[in-house]
Amino acid sequence: MSFYIQKYPSRVSGYVSAIILNTAIYFHGFPTGLLIPTAMLIIMLGEGSQRMENSKTLQALYTENDP
């Protein structure tokens, strides 16, 4: 599972945000007080996945294509 998270962080972030937002929409018993922390979690997941993708891009640019 952690290998999948490290390899595809943007997919995991998208899955989590879709699950949480659909839960908030379709289940009316979802506590609205959790929406702000949930939104913050989604933003943090997006930021983390962006940083992981950037590090993979830099690694591919500077180490794998070194002539």
Mean pLDDT over the full length of the chain: 77
Average pLDDT over residues 25-48: 77
- Taking the chain, what is the end-to-end CA distance rounded to the nearest angstrom? 35
Q: Which two tokens stand for residue 30?
A: 């979802």
Mean pLDDT over residues 15-38, rounded? 77
Asked if 18 and 51 touch (Cβ cutoff 8 Å), the reply is no
CB 49 within 8 A of CB 9: yes
pTM of the model: 0.55
Q: Which backbone phi and psi does 65 adopt, to 5 degrees? A: -105, 25
User: What are the Cα distances from residue 15, in Å, to 18, 20, 36, 59?
Assistant: 5, 9, 18, 26
Mean pLDDT of 23-38: 75
